[in-house]
């Protein structure tokens, strides 16, 4: 049962073939069984979840399943990344500075899940304040990749991706600032969607970089991601940057063929710096798309070479301000060794933040400093404009652009954590999408070196063979329907199979 997709479970619940309580119980059994190794969750809410599941069952029973028309996620066990507020639960962002912080309110996207009947089973691990690409920056635990426990799950939504891959939930909300949904989805062989900036409310998502952050689903399939997006998308008056858009059914185009659809492959993201195994898997997936009638062409995106630099200026600048509220005054960690106000600020922050967070705060503070603003922050904003223009040119001719989600498959623990630059480079393909505010999705399109697929699920494999490869599609602003349509075609055309723990 826990191996079902969200869509399959939805059908069974509605048809009375199973119950929400059973689904929740199966999920918690799976959690108990695999969490000692996977460590995807920072906390779980078994008691509350089962109570909610019971209520969902009563509703389903009394309405003969019709309640699910109004509440499409009724009784479905889902998780959320632990940087989203949920009333009266601890929200830590995997940081010591927020240890013990109890949310006084619920994030809009989470509230929408609840209103749609979803059962929230727990909050998943992440890189501290969503800063990282391996979830190794969590202050509390190391989440392992369900495909290979010696490898990272990616990040920063590593807990979310691992939980979905390990069938410890039927979907999870993640957040994506530079690839934090898509890259872990790619590493763990699940689907990860970052919607257009402004499609999903950020209210209640603890901000990392406000102009880049976006909440989106991590799911077992493209259809599941679409079902969750249906619930969380939409204007929210509490988020001024959310966009007034007519509500769409994102599942509408999923079964349509892609005959004649024009897809551009980004030349720069299939060349140097991309692992051979990844490139080969992507090439195979491209053949699959061609077979389905898509027209594949190659384009250049010359502005991408500035994307990483621009990203690390914009994101860190915004982060330096966003994280200023963690000062030990009102909530979170307060140093016990402070003798005066300045020491209170300094020591609380020194003790509470981890190394990567400090690194980014310092970088951002520097970039915004008097005399440097024009050369760094302003210049980076100009790069954003150029990247957007490059994308716009592409979307004038193509329905979507395509690349690997990440230059490599999941890497090993410790492999990059002491080399920030190489860690930053693992987001090279995903970062331009956030800078341009566009929707992007990572879909598993196969496993690396399919010849050695015998290693799938192997506990401590050394080779990269058999590890999932994510294919990234990017579409124009608010073109999520089209994006999901093509993603579904990738899914149909690939030989990928989800792992079963």
Partner 1 sequence: MTEYEAVIGLEIHTHLKTRSKMFCACSTEFGKQPNSSACPVCTGQPGALPVLNQEAVNLAIRCGLALNCTINKKSVFARKNYFYPDLPKGYQISQFDLPVTSNGFVNIQLPDGAEKRIGITRAHLEEDAGKLVHQGAEGIEGATASHVDLNRSSVPLLEIVSEPDIRSAEEARAYLDKIKSILQFAGVSDANMEEGKLRCDANVSIRPAGQKEFGVKVEIKNMNSFRAVERAIKIEIERQKQVLTTGQTVAQETRSYDEAAGRTVSMRSKEESHDYRYFPEPDLLPLLIDDAWIDRVKKELPELAEQRIRRYQDEHGISAYDARVLTLDKAVSDFFDAAAKLYAGDKKSIVNWLTTDVLGYLKTENLELSQTKLTPENLVEMLGLIDNQTISGKIGKELIVQILKTGASARQLVETSGRRQITDESTLQKIVQEVLAANPQQLAQYRSGKTALKGYFVGETMKKTKGQAAPQLVNQILDRLLKI
Residues that bind partner 1 (CB under 8 A): 83-85, 91, 93, 98, 101, 103-105, 107, 202-207, 209-211, 237-241, 317-318, 320-321, 323-327, 329-331, 340-341, 345, 365, 368-370, 373, 377
Contact, 49 vs 77, CB < 8 A? yes
Q: CB under 8 Å to 278, separation ≥6 — which residues?
A: 404, 406, 407, 408, 409, 448, 469
Specify whether 156 is catalytic.
yes
DSSP symbols for 60-74: HHHTTTTHHHH-TTT
DSSP symbols for 436-477: HT--EEEEEEEETTGGGGGGTT-TT--S-TT-EEEEEEE-ST
For partner 1, give the closer residue by CB, 370 or 460: 370
**Of 81, 123, 220, 482, which is the active-site residue?**
81
Nearest-approach distance from CB 89 to partner 1, in angstroms: 13
Contact, 403 vs 155, CB < 8 A? no
Nearest-approach distance from CB 190 to partner 1, in angstroms: 25
Cis peptide before 156 (omega within 30 of 0): yes
Specify whether 482 is catalytic.
no
Nearest-approach distance from CB 116 to partner 1, in angstroms: 20
For partner 1, give the closer residue by CB, 341 or 355: 341
For partner 1, give the closer residue by CB, 295 or 368: 368
* CA distances in angstroms from 466 to 282, 445, 452, 481, 491, listed in the order given: 14, 12, 6, 31, 17
Nearest-approach distance from CB 309 to partner 1, in angstroms: 17
Supply φ then ψ for residue 472, to 5 degrees: -100, 130
Q: 3-state DSSP call for residue 119?
A: strand
For partner 1, give the closer residue by CB, 168 or 477: 477
Helix axes 46-62, 6-14, angle to 10 degrees: 50
**Of 95, 134, 138, 180, which is the active-site residue?**
180
Q: CB under 8 Å to 326, separation ≥6 — which residues?
A: 95, 97, 98, 332, 333, 348, 349, 352, 353
For partner 1, give the closer residue by CB, 66 or 329: 329
Maximum pairwise Cα distance, the chain: 70
For partner 1, give the closer residue by CB, 139 or 323: 323
Active site residues: 81, 156, 180
């Amino acid at each position: 049962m826990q191996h079902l997709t969200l869509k399959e479970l939805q059908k069974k619940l509605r048809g009375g073939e199973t119950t929400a309580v059973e689904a929740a119980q199966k999920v918690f059994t799976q959690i108990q069984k695999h969490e000692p190794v996977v460590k995807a969750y920072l906390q779980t809410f078994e008691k509350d979840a089962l109570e909610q599941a019971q209520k969902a069952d009563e509703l389903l029973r009394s309405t003969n399943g019709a309640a699910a028309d109004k509440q499409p996620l009724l009784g479905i066990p889902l998780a959320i990344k632990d940087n989203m507020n949920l009333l009266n639960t601890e929200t830590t962002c995997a940081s010591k500075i927020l240890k013990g912080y109890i949310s006084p309110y619920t994030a809009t996207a989470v509230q929408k899940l609840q209103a749609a009947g979803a059962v929230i089973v727990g909050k998943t691990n992440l890189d501290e304040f969503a800063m990282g690409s391996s979830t190794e920056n969590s202050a509390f635990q190391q989440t392992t990749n369900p495909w290979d426990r010696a490898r990272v799950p990616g990040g920063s939504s590593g807990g979310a991706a691992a939980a979905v891959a390990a069938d410890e939930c039927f979907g999870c909300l993640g957040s994506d600032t530079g690839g934090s949904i898509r890259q872990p989805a790619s590493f763990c062989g699940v689907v990860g969607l970052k919607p257009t900036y402004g499609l999903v409310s950020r209210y209640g998502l603890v901000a990392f970089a406000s102009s880049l952050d976006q909440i989106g689903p991590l799911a077992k399939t493209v259809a599941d991601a679409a079902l969750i997006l249906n619930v969380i998308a939409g204007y929210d008056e509490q988020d001024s940057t959310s966009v007034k858009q007519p509500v769409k059914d994102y599942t509408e185009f999923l079964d349509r063929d892609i005959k004649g659809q024009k897809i551009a492959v980004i030349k720069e993201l299939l060349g140097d710096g991309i692992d051979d195994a990844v490139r080969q898997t992507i090439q195979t997936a491209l053949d699959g798309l061609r077979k389905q009638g898509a027209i594949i062409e190659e384009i250049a995106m010359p502005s991408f070479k500035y994307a990483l630099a621009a990203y690390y200026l914009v994101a860190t600048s915004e982060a330096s301000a966003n994280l200023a509220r963690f000062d030990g005054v009102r909530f979170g960690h307060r140093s016990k060794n402070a003798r005066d106000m300045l020491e209170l600020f300094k020591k609380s922050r020194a003790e509470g933040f981890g190394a990567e967070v400090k690194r980014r705060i310092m970088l951002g503070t520097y970039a915004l400093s008097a005399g440097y603003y024009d050369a760094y922050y302003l210049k980076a904003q100009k790069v954003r404009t150029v990247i957007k223009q490059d994308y716009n040119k592409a979307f004038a001719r193509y329905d979507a652009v395509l690349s690997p989600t990440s230059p490599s498959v999941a890497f090993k623990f410790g492999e990059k954590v002491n080399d920030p630059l190489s860690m930053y480079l693992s987001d090279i393909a995903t970062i331009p999408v956030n800078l341009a505010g566009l929707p992007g999705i990572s879909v598993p399109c196969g496993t690396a070196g399919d010849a050695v697929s015998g290693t799938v699920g192997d506990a401590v494999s050394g080779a990269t063979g058999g590890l999932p490869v994510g294919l990234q599609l990017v579409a124009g602003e608010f073109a999520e329907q089209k994006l999901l349509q093509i993603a579904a075609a990738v899914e149909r055309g690939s030989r990928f199979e989800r792992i079963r723990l």
